[in-house]
Amino acid sequence: GIQVEQSPPDLILQEGANSTLRCNFSDSVNNLQWFHQNPWGQLINLFYIPSGTKQNGRLSATTVATERYSLLYISSSQTTDSGVYFCAVGGTGTASKLTFGTGTRLQVTL
Amino acid sequence: DAGITQSPRHKVTETGTPVTLRCHQTENHRYMYWYRQDPGHGLRLIHYSYGVKDTDKGEVSDGYSVSRSKTEDFLLTLESATSSQTSVYFCAISRQGQETQYFGPGTRLLVL
């Protein structure tokens, strides 16, 4: 099956810093999503981005499908950004079955 | 908020006992999914459903069965729980014509 690798595995930032998280995948996909899992365990969908660039406030994401990677940018980080960020990929069709990476754990300190 | 609830939220059980987890949604979405989350593995798909009585296996389906007799409920059953099934279980939904998945709050299961 498809392999999903995320880097870095861990990241510590001071509040206000910027960061880039990367997701590489081993095969063509037409479904890519980014999620944030907060310290209480809740999973929040950040982006559905099979290709191109999207922005939502301080977060933006870019997927280059032809080169099989996606980037998540976090600008002016805040302590509430702490948690684990997951990339998930899959196909489309009767159900959007996703394969998840193992995540990037982000800690934002004061 | 996609109106997803999971029950129970926490459960401790013994090896060999049957366990059923419930996912309930209030918005009549067609697609529902069960994942498990374990350290070092991210989330892995167990089973999914594309309609009432329409289900299929995911990546890690061995030892699990599912049922969906109503649009709003998707049940995950461990027929005979094992310690390797200790995990956090998440239910998710996606809307017809959209790929975005929305997750429930999770159920933490400990099998002793």
Query: Of B40 and A88, which is predicted with more confidence?
Result: A88
Q: Which CATH number do you get for residue A17?
A: 2.60.40.10
What is the domain extent for residue A35? 4-109
> In the block, which residue shows the tokens 């999971």?
B6
**Nearest residue of A to residue B88, measured between CA atoms:** A41
A107 touches chain B (CB under 8 A): no
Taking alpha carbons only, the member of A61, A43, A45 closest to residue A53 is A61
In this prediction, residue B40 carries a pLDDT of 84
Count of structural domains, chain A = 1
Taking alpha carbons only, the member of A61, A54, A110, A51 closest to residue A82 is A110
**Nearest residue of A to residue B91, measured between CA atoms:** A43
Return the exposure string of B80-99: e unless at least 16 CB atoms fall within 10 Å of the residue's CB, then b: ebeeebbbbbbbbbbeeeeb
Cβ–Cβ under 8 Å, residues B33 and B92: yes
Asked whether residue A92 carries a pLDDT value surpassing 80, the answer given is no
CA angle B60, B64, B67 (to 5 degrees): 120
| Interfacial B residues in 21-80 facing A (CB < 8 Å) | 31, 33, 35, 40-45, 48-50, 56, 58-59
Cβ pairs bridging A and B (under 8 Å): 60
In this prediction, residue B99 carries a pLDDT of 84
Q: What is the pLDDT of residues B63-87, one digit of tens each?
A: 999 999 999 999 999 999 999 999 9
In this prediction, residue B51 carries a pLDDT of 92
pLDDT band at B96 (very low <50, low <70, confident <90, very high): confident
Interface contact flag, B59 A95, Cβ < 8 Å = no
Contacts of A71 (CB under 8 A, 6+ apart): A20, A21, A22, A23, A61, A62, A63
Domains defined for chain B, CATH in brackets:
4-111 (2.60.40.10)
- What mean pLDDT comes out for the span A46-60? 97
**CB neighbours of residue A41 within 10 Å:** 15
In this prediction, residue A1 carries a pLDDT of 85
Using a CB-CB cut-off of 8 Å, the residues of chain A touching B98 are 48
